Structure 1
Amino acid sequence: MDGSPFDAVLCDFDGVVHLWDPDGMNALDRAWGLAEGTLAGAAFDGELLQAAVTGRLSDEQWRHRVAEVLAPVCGSLARAQDLVEAWSGLTGRVDADVVELLAALRGKVPVVLVSNATTRLETYLASVGLADAFDEVINTARIGVAKPDPRVFATAAQRVRVDVQRCLFVDDTLTHVDAARAAGLTGLHYQRFDQLRDIVAPLLG
């Protein structure tokens, strides 16, 4: 857009729009008599998580595999499945300030959610009231590649028909931001709301 610093805003989900209780998984570990970090270690194992966020495993398959990994330390597969079910029932908190700001931006430029997510993302967005909060949703499990792969950014830009180098990319993971910058986007390593507010201020006049 003429006179505008960006033609689209690409925004991460967890850690920007949506925030998890940092003690949520540890609390479940304690309730099951496990060392803190046990559940997270199984769920976010690099290879297993990568399979889930690139769609090689469905969300259901991923969670079943996590339960299988946890079965020995839980004492049985059934007990591990109960733990995974409790974890799956957790919900995070939507940052209302970020959502309000993104809604205002949508009147000026497209806003695209870009998330390394499992096949559950779309259902989860609906459950927390965000089904219609974005112009497009790029769920990496649906496109077969995940951040920091530059094809993710290219796909997001193509969906809203803008030049990828005219996009602002917002993420709380520095390696993803670095990859976006290397691909020619403007990258914001998100840590505080005022950072986002300040960088998009020119779009809102």
Structure 2
Amino acid sequence: MPASAPAAPVGRAFDAVLCDLDNVVRFYDTAPLAALERAAGLPEGATTEVAYAPEVDLPLLLGRITPAAWVDAIAAGLTDRVGADRARELGQALADAPVRADEEVVALLRRARTHVPLVLVTNATLQLEDDLALLGLTDLADAVVSSAVEQVAKPDPAVYRIAAERAGVPAARCLFVDDRQENVDAAAALGMTGVLYREPADLRAALGSCAEWAPRPAGSGDPVNRER
């Protein structure tokens, strides 16, 4: 935190919030995909099982392939089961799944940001900037740490160190929120306060009484550079 920042209130275990994006702030509607899977005779989730396998998903999240190449890889993994045309249709349906932002979570994070730095820490593609703009969330955080930009993904410890540096806060004074236990555990191993997210109440409880915190000093609204 800047030298002019007030001391943390008694009982508050953090001076910055580091928050995951997907399945915390951003959610995908996979109902259209599920309908296509049923029509193809596949169990629901068959497409995501292929798509999110590390050998298919990680190259996308590290910025090494394009979303189109990711769809190609998904189609290749499904072709033997449903044929090439339908496999591609399923892969594209996942890539094009409608998205929404959880308004309650966004409101909680915006309120927290008036008191402490907020950094989004996400395994995401090189299209993240456009994705955030589509959701109206370009100004949600002080900084964004994206795996595709940094070329390192959670739960690699380097991601958390980068995020703490962007927040300008020691790791031990960061609150980290994520929906995956392995990511929370990795943050906790660096001394961060980890929160496993399942619903907005988890975030609300972790943040505590924001209204009682001192506001951030004037001029501290952008303590670190945004996503490079």
Q: TM-score, normalised by structure 2?
A: 0.82
Per-residue displacement from partner, 1:29-79 (whole Å, max 9, x unpaired)?
113343333211210112221222122323332222212222232312x43
Matched, 1:57 2:65: yes
1:123 partner amino acid = D
1:25/1:40 contact within 8 Å kept: no
The ranges of structure 1 where at least 4 consecutive aligned residues each deviate by more than 6 angstroms after the TM superposition are: none
- Per the TM alignment, residue 96 of structure 1 is displaced from its structure 2 partner at its CA by 0.4
Q: In the aligned structure 1, how far is the partner of 2:207 from the partner of 2:43?
A: 42
Per-residue displacement from partner, 1:138-179 (whole Å, max 9, x unpaired)?
111111111111111111111122212111000111111111
Q: In the aligned structure 1, how far is the partner of 2:150 from the partner of 2:36?
A: 32
* Partner residue in 1 for 2:153: 146
1:14 partner amino acid = D
- Per the TM alignment, residue 23 of structure 1 is displaced from its structure 2 partner at its CA by 4.4
Per-residue displacement from partner, 1:6-35 (whole Å, max 9, x unpaired)?
221011111111223464542231133433
Secondary structure of the equivalent of 1:114? strand
Matched, 1:68 2:76: yes
Secondary structure of the equivalent of 2:177? strand
Secondary structure of the equivalent of 1:80? helix
Q: Which runs of 5+ in 2 are unaligned?
A: 1-5, 213-228
1:28/1:87 contact within 8 Å kept: no
CA distance 1:27–1:91, change in 2 (3 Å): same
2:180 partner amino acid = T
Q: Which runs of 5+ in 1 are unaligned?
A: none
* Partner residue in 2 for 1:194: 201
* Partner residue in 2 for 1:107: 114
Q: In the aligned structure 1, how far is the partner of 2:200 from the partner of 2:36?
A: 29
Percent identity between the two aligned chains: 42
* Partner residue in 1 for 2:95: 88
Q: In the aligned structure 2, how far is the partner of 1:98 from the partner of 1:29?
A: 31
Q: In the aligned structure 1, how far is the partner of 2:131 from the partner of 2:100?
A: 12
Task: State which structure, 1 or 2, has the greater radius of gyration over its C-alpha atoms.
Answer: 2
- How many residues align? The count is 204
